Each structure stands twice: as structure tokens, then as C-alpha cells.
Structure 1
Amino acid sequence: MTQRSERARPSILIIGTGFGGLGMAIKLKLAGYTNLTLLEKADRVGGTWRDNTYPGAACDVQSHLYSYSFEPRHDWSRKFGLQREILGYMEHCVAKYQLADHIRFNSEVQEAAFDDSTNHWTVTLTTGEQLTANVMITATGQLNQPAWPKLDGLDRFQGTMFHSARWDHNYDLTGKQVAVIGTGASAIQFVPEIAPKVKQLDLFQRSAAWVLPKPDRPFKPWEQVLFQKIPLWDRIYRYLIYWKNESRALAFTRFSGLLEFYANQAKREARKQVTDPAKLNHIIPDYKIGCKRILISNDWYPAINRPNVNLITDPIDHIDETGVVTRAGHHHPVDAIICGTGFQASEFLSPIRITGRSGKTLNEAWKSGAAAFKGITVSGFPNLFMLYGPNTNLAHNSILYMLESQFRYVLGCLDALGKYPGSAMDVRQDRQDRFTHVVQHGLEDTVWNAGCTSWYLDANGRNTVNWPGFTFTYRFATRRADTADYQFIYPSQPSQ
């Protein structure tokens, strides 16, 4: 690449170094965009796989599909990757594609503002330092801000308290009385790991989860050799996993009656492994399967059945200095409280303050709910591209497939920008509104709209998280950037 063409390339800031940020950076470098900086608030890469180090942390998407299609790994130890292994894979990608020089660690973004007079984004770090770039790409994910339970007295507790996404590895749980608040995706992984160690585990459940067996096992050495020596077999294996997972979209979005097969399977597993009638009565959900995230585990029900695990469904009233008090007035003294209460998934880009054209903030643009054109661009915020944005989450397949679709779309947008030097591209409001209407209409008859309360829904009860169809339809929708969807604005051009 010549020096002249290098200068013509836009400067790019990427916020976050999870799968989205790293993958985007790799694709940008391969396409010749080398003037890029990744801003990471922590001291190492990894996103949710760096943060969630709780015992038993693992993925619920198969390893060969929960990895970049352009960077296959052949020696996964298990069918479903473990946290440490996935983080190692991400660090391998950083080394192989020489991203380290582009990453600034301990650089948490406080706010970002678009300057109409220069068409630049100015990003302000929490240290006060400011950086400018032509293009800003956010890759902060949907699972990076822990959601703490809204309970009176949390600050009064005198024992040890931590969130599962900020696990305190210095605290020894052996022989302790422990309260776990929440029975979601994290809890079903760490509860079976800590239950044998603690003296007593009080498990506070607001609503039961549908839990299916996890078809997991270690790969045999000969299988790993086969993946390595015959790349075609590795691709075929990944292809088969993809279509097996993809077929489940029919049940979530079109024919929810198909999910009853899985509901019956979950009930059979519970009845087989939980012998305490009182516990069994409380661990079978009363809402339609699929309305909330379906979980997979082989050791959740045996853990619930342990005599030292106390399943409590009486709602929590408050926390005091020594334990948890339920609404019925029962006091549960504990040494430690672990909050397995998930993340603020629908609060995209929180807590970063984003300001677009004419001083309009993203919070103002999203006062009725988060929305973005193809989940990537928002009208009034030129040259801002979101990865894993509104309505691009999945309940049936690998988010990395969605991310790779977004990588290609963003690269298409940057190519379009190159044809209009000095401009910034802003998605037209009518195109965004039309896309949002189609998405929300598509969500109306899905199982996620079956009446339960879940993290898929925002404060207004609107599903701003999930994609209402197949992943291949999303890939088709993002196959290219259509310049007719955008207006190309030049510095100080008045808003239209």
C-alpha cells in the first residue's frame, strides 16, 4: 500500500476488545485499514470471557461455531468451550494478527461526541484524555455491565458480597453459609461447582429456568487430529452444527409448539434427578419454554437435590448486616452473598454518553427504546457503527455468525465512505424506522412475546435485544451497504 493511499484511509476507534472488537480489527487490518486504535477499559482483552471467571464458566454454543470462521481452532478440549480456553483463543488471535500495538488498555471511555464542523468523533476517557477519529465502532457487547439486584440493605451487609461476573477468587467458600441470588445462566454453572464445598447454600429463586441436558463431552485425541489434518472435515463439522442450531429458530419465531418437546424433556430430567418433592415443585417453570433464555446443564438438577442446598422462592424483602430477610419475615444468616443476577443487556453502550449531530444524545434518540438500522447504525450519529447492537442477539445460534455479518457490512460502509472523501455517512431516519418496524412486527408472534419478564425486554416491555428470524436472513440483509440508505454529509452541513 502506498503512503498516499494510507493517508486516505480513515482513522478508526474501536471501543472494546471482546469477540466483536477483535474480529472487526482483524478484518480492518486485512482490508488495509491500519490507522486504528482499540480502547479497552480493563488490562487485558476478552470482554465477557475475561470478566466471567466464576467456577464452571463455559459457553453454551459449540466450540467450533463459537470461534471465527476465518480462524478455526482444531484442538478444542470439549464440544463446548470453557472460559479459560475461549479467552486463550482470543489472545491467540491478538498475537497472530498483531493487534497488540493497536490496543490501549486501562482506557475506559466516558463519552463520545460527533463534531459537525469537522466530521470527527471526539472520545473522552475517564482520565480526561481526548482522542479523535473519523470513524467510531462500538464493540461493548450486551453482557458487560453487571446488573445488581435492586434490594434494600445491600450496602448494610457485613459479610462478603460479589457479583458472579466479578468473582472474588480470594474468598474461600469452603465450609461457609452462602446465599446465591438468581438462578440464571451464570448460576446454573457456578452453583454445582460450589455446592459441594459450602456448609449450606441458600438459593434465592425469583422464577425457575427451563434447563435441558448439555450434549457436552471431551474431544478424543483422534478427533482433534482429524480436525487438524483434514480441514474439510473441520468445515463440515462446523457447517452441521450451524444448521442444527439454525433449525431451532423455527421453534422460537414461528412454531413455538415445537418447543413443548424440549419442555417435556426438561421435566423428565428434573423428575429423574430431584427427589425432594418441595424442590421439584418449584424448579419447573410456569411460563412458556423459550420465553426466557433456555439453559443447558448436566449438573444443575443434581446440585439442587443436594441436602445442603436450600431452594427459597419466598421473595427477598431486604438485606441486613448478617443475611437475607424474605417477605414472609424469615431471616437467613449467611457469611457471603453471591449475586448471579445477570447483566443490563438492554442498556446498550451504558454508561458511555454518546452525542451525535446538533448535540442530540443517544439516550434522547432512544427514549422510546433502543433501535438501529440493521442493528448497526443510528440516524443522527454519522460514522458510528455498533457491533452486537439492538435486536442482533440470538437464542438459537452463535453470535459470532452475526458479528461476522456485521464486520462485512461495516467494511462495505467504509468502502462507500472512500468514494466521498471528507464526508460522514448518516443513516436516513425513514430507513431506520422502516427497518425497526419490520423487526418489531417480526417479534410479535415469537415465543419471547409470550408474557414473561426477561432480560430480552427493556423498561418499556419492548424486545430490543433479539433478532426475530434466521441468522442467514440477517446475513443476507447485511450483505452490502446500500448508499441509498444513507445521506453523506460534509463538515458544517446543516441537519436535514
Structure 2
Amino acid sequence: MNNNSCTYDDGSTPNITIVGAGFSGICAAIKLKKELSIDTFTIYDLENDLGGTWMVNSYPGCACDVPSHLYSFSFELNPDWSEKFSPAQEIQQYIVGMAKKYDLYKHIQFQTAVHDCQWDDALCKWIVQLKRSNGQEETIYTDILLTGAGALRIPNIPEVFKQFQGPMCHSAQWDNSLPIDGKNVAIIGNGASAVQIIPEIAPRVKSLSVFQRHPSWIIPRANKVYSGFSKWIMRNVPLVQRVYRWLQFISADIVYGSFVEGSTLHKVSKYLAMKHLTAQVKDEALRATLTPSYSIGCKRIIVSDDFYPALGRSNVTLETDSIDRIEGTTIITREGTRHTVDSLILATGFRVQDYCTPMNLHGKGGVSMRGLVHSKIETYLGICVKGFPNSFVFLGPNTALGHNSVLFMIECQVNFTMQCIREMIKRNMSSIDVQATAQQRVQKELERNLEGKVWTTACGSWYNDKNGHNFTIWPGSCTNYWWRTRTVDFRDFNFTKASSSSSTSVASSSVVPDESINNNRHKSKQA
């Protein structure tokens, strides 16, 4: 038997449902196989291939704004990154490569939505309703629910733009047939996606109208292409890649200090951003329009070397007046300026608070996860929520970042989850649920750590909910998060064993009639 094998006393393993085949879901699947020797899991994804956001986003210039050697898993380093900031397609291929290496495709069911999840307290199981793209519906029972759907997934499309009567697409739903070459085009927004799209399409269009609500803080990207020799060194001298990645991590984590309002690093960050703006924008009026009035870091800091030069092109117009209405294919501002265009691009962000959608997750007593998110959700390190036993969320509330790699956070969360699953099985228990007092203690600490940070200043950031509460960003360094999640304090959790008449489970990939819930768990292949 594999020394890492993790089975109940009867030799069985739990059924595990993983929502999402992006970085989070793939990481969880790999860890289940490598660390727990559990392969009784199924991954469900809405799309027709894996990769999550990096499969869906295909707009011109789409790339990561975190260095590639850092934007990868520590257990699966890639010596062959082509650039310091790799394009989306290359990142998606990195995910595909991991799935093939660890034989995960056989565990994935594509074009399948996890529509509804109800916790059954008597059975200590999740009752999961699936909806296939062909309309077929299916109900399964699962012991453990791992959610890695991601927050930057559901496009935010304001109502006013639904009046546009010409070709239109959101940056996250890019349409390669969208008329661009030699056309009059408008793009709404100047956040991370828009800043990548604009330099790519500006040379191709007849005219480009850029609608800016608020300017972004932008710092140099300083991208570089890795030479064949660099890749050879990374591949054949692994220690070099480890050290290089470690130095990138330390450099990024130090930047966290710039989120402390009024700190020296905060002032340095603003100085570097202003220096970049001054160097690239010589026109004083345009420079003033592009200078943010809010504290740097309150919104995501953007990296780019070609956005400012693109705005200086003769065929590009920056519009800062708010949009009043749309008539046909004409965008009319509140001051009456009319922009008639052939195509419209929406770089208007995502509905971050709807990150569970289309899934309805109901815990003990029917409590809705979506309802909690839309109020003021409390979590335990962004991974567990009281009243939702055997449910673990990756990149949940207050675990996103503005300075480092979220893949590091995912690894921390998955490692935490593996410890919880191992301990539950070791104790021969059926469920694990965080204690209310422990969750409240951790949440209060998080709230204290938010004090004095730039995210508490008013800037209209998508980091905050409608009440101005930051429910998105982790208010600490990545090193701090690793320290908090490296070892689980099981005194903060309650374990429950289901009654013998209802403690068994069924295969998570099959239709489950009511009378079959007393089937045995999956018997371990190593047993």
C-alpha cells in the first residue's frame, strides 16, 4: 500500500466533487492524487476544455501581469516560459500539460454546470444537481465539495450598453469576427484588460474612442523574452530556477508594504508610477487626465509599457465624460458629445460578488452562500464557512491579491484542505465544519488588518462591495498567509460521524436514485 494512501477504516475513500477546471481545480486534483492517493473525484466545468480564465479570455494582448516563473505551481515549475509575462495561450497550455501529466482528463466532465448543492445533515453529504449543455439534468451525492470557480468569470455588462445595435463583445467573451480593421471602434474601460487590448488594436482601427471613468495607476512592465540559453539553464540547473522564482516572490511580497497608507513604500510606488507617466506622456493636459486622484493600490496597479504611447496616437481619442445613452451605434455623453462607431468593446470587468453563480450553495438549515456573499460574509481564512461542512473554497473572500501570485494562495489553500480531508479520514469521521467562535476570531483579525490600508479609502474599486467593505483582497503578505495556513489547528473545527444507516456514499459521477444512497464508498485500489 502507498504510504501516502488515505482511506477510512473499511478501506474506502470519499467521493469528492471539484467545481472548475482552472488552476484551483487542477491543483486540488493533483494534490488529491499525489498526497492522499485519492482518485475518487470528478471535476465539473462549464467550458469545453480546461484552463478557466486562461481558456476563456482570448482578447488581443491577453497576458498575465505576474511574472511567469512566479505564476506557476511550486511543484510543477516550467523552465520553458517564453517571456517574463507570458501570453494567455501559453498559460493555458501549462495547465493542459499538468492535466495530461497527472492523467486528469478522465476525471473531468466538461460543459457541465454545478447548478445546486444542498447539504444533507443526516447523510453528511452534499446533494448536487448538475446541468449539461444538452439540457440533461443529473443528481449526485458527494462527500466533499471543493469550489474553484473563480471570481473573474462572469462579465459585468451595464444595462446602457445593451442598447447598442452594432457588433459588440465583452473582453472575456472575445469575438474574433468583431469588425476592427479599418473601423471606428469604441472601448469602454481602462482597467487591466483594456490596457492590454488598446495597444494591440490601435494600429489596426480607423479610429478608437477610449471611454475612461477613472484613470489607473500604471507602472513599467519591463517584459523580456527568455533566450534559449536561459531556458537551458532553467531546465538543467533546477536550483537556478528555484532561486530565480524565490527572488521574484520576495520582491513581490515586499510590495505589500506599499498598501499601507502613507508608508514609505506607498510613496515610492506613487513616485515610480508618476515618473512612468511623465516619461511617456509629454502633453500636460493628457497627463493630467491620466493622473489618478485616489490612493495608489486602492484599485489594481497595472503594468504596461505601451498603453500611454497608444493613447498618444492620432487616431485615438480619450473620452472622460460619462455616458448618457446609446442611440443605434452612437454613444452620447452627458455633455452631448456623439461617438458613432462600427464596433463596441466592453472592458467593464466582472460581477465579482456573483462568483458562485450559476451554483446555488445551501449549507445547514438551507443557508445560502450567495446570500452571505451579498451581505457581509465571514470566513475562516477565505477557505471555510461555518454551516457549510465538507466544503472548501479556493480564492474565496479576502484571498485575492494586488501584489503577488494568486497561485501561491491557491497552493496554500489546497494544502490546508488536504490536511482537513486527511484528518477527517484519519478520525473515521464523516464531516468537518469550522466552529463559529474560531471563524469570528479570524474574521475580526482580518478586519483589524484592513485598518490603515489603501483599500479602505474611497476609490470605487471592484475590491469592495456596495457598502464599501473589502471582501476581495487579503490584508497581509503572502508569507503571512502561508504561515497561517501551513498547519491546521483542528481545535477550531468540529468533526461529525454520520449514523451507520446513512454514512455511506455512492459514485459521484453517476445518477443517484433515492434508494441507492446506502451504497458503499469507493473502495481504495490500494486496500
Task: Give the TM-score taking structure 2 as reference length.
Answer: 0.90
Cα separation, 2, equivalents of 1:378 and 1:316: 40
Corresponding letter in the other structure for 2:359: I
Asked if the contact 1:315–1:327 (Cα under 8 Å) also holds between the matched residues in 2, the reply is yes
- The 10-residue stretch of structure 1 (13-22 or 474-483) with the greater mean CA deviation from structure 2: 474-483
Give the drift of 1:322.
1.6
Pairing of 1:422-441 with structure 2 (within 5 A):
422-441=429-448
1:4 shift after superposition: 11
Query: Are positions 1:229 and 2:236 aligned together?
Result: yes
C-alpha distance in 1 between matches for 2:451 and 2:330: 42
Summarize deviations over 1:325-367 as a string: whole Å, max 9, x none.
1111222111111000111223331331111112221134445
Change (3 A) 1:364 1:489: farther
1:140 to 119, 133, 149: 149
* SS of residue matched to 2:314: coil
Shift of 1:5: 4.1
The correspondence of residues 264-275 of structure 1 with structure 2, limited to 5 A, is: 264-275=271-282
- Structure 2 CA distance for aligned equivalents of residues 376 and 93 of structure 1: 24
AA aligned to 1:141 is G
- The runs of at least 4 consecutive aligned structure 1 residues that moved more than 6 Å come to none
SS of residue in 1 equivalent to 2:446: helix
Q: Distance in 2 between matches of 1:363 and 1:269?
A: 41
Query: Which residue number in structure 2 is paired with residue 340 of structure 1?
Result: 347
Q: Which residue of 1 aligns with 2:13?
A: 9
CA spacing shift, 1:460–1:66, aligned 2, 3 Å? same
After superposition, the Cα gap between the structure-2 partners of 1:347 and 1:444, relative to the gap in structure 1 and judged at 3 Å, is farther
Amino acid at match of 1:12: I
Q: Equivalent residue for 1:20?
A: 24
1:481 to 477, 488, 493: 488
Aligned length: 491
Q: Is the 8 A contact 1:183 1:209 kept in 2?
A: yes
Partner residue in 2 for 1:396: 403
The answer to whether residue 89 in structure 2 is matched with residue 89 in structure 1 is: no
- How much does 1:255 deviate? 5.5
Q: Which residue of 2 aligns with 1:104?
A: 109
In structure 2, the residue matched to 1:66 is 71
Pairing partner for 1:56 from 54, 57, 61:
61
Percent identity reads: 39
State the Cα deviation string for residues 278-329 of structure 1 (Å, max 9, x = none). Answer: 3222111111111111000010000011111110000011222122111112
1:73-127 CA-to-partner distances (Å, cap 9, x unmatched) read 1111111111111111110000001001000000111111111121111111234
How far apart are residue 275 of structure 1 and its match? 3.7
CA RMSD of aligned residues (A): 1.8
User: Contact (CA 8 Å) 2:260, 2:266: kept in 1 or not?
Assistant: no
* Counterpart for residue 504 of structure 2: none
Determine whether 1:356 maps to 2:363: yes
Q: Assess if the C-alpha contact under 8 Å between 2:179 and 2:343 holds in 1.
A: no
The aligned counterpart of 2:47 is 42
Q: Secondary structure of the equivalent of 2:443? A: helix
C-alpha distance in 1 between matches for 2:164 and 2:355: 30
Report the 3-state secondary structure (helix = DSSP H, G, I; strand = E; otherwise coil) of the residue aligned with 1:132.
Answer: strand
Moved more, 268-277 or 438-447: 268-277
- Residue 198 of structure 1 corresponds to 205
* TM-score normalised according to structure 1 size: 0.95
- Of residues 118-127 and 432-441 in structure 1, the stretch that sits farther from structure 2 once superposed is 118-127
The unaligned stretches of length 5 or more in structure 1 are none
Q: How does 1:131-210 map to 2 (within 5 A)?
A: 131-148=140-157, 150-152=158-160, 154-210=161-217
Distance 1:364 1:450, change over 3 A: closer
Q: How far apart, in 1, do the equivalents of 2:184 and 2:129 lie?
A: 44
Indicate the SS of the match to 1:488. strand
Q: Report the counterpart of residue 311 of structure 1 in structure 2.
A: 318
User: CA 1:367/1:193 → structure 2, altered by over 3 Å: closer, same or farther?
Assistant: closer
Q: Which residue matches 2:309?
A: 302
Structure possessing the higher relative contact order (Cα contacts under 8 Å, 6 or more residues apart): 2
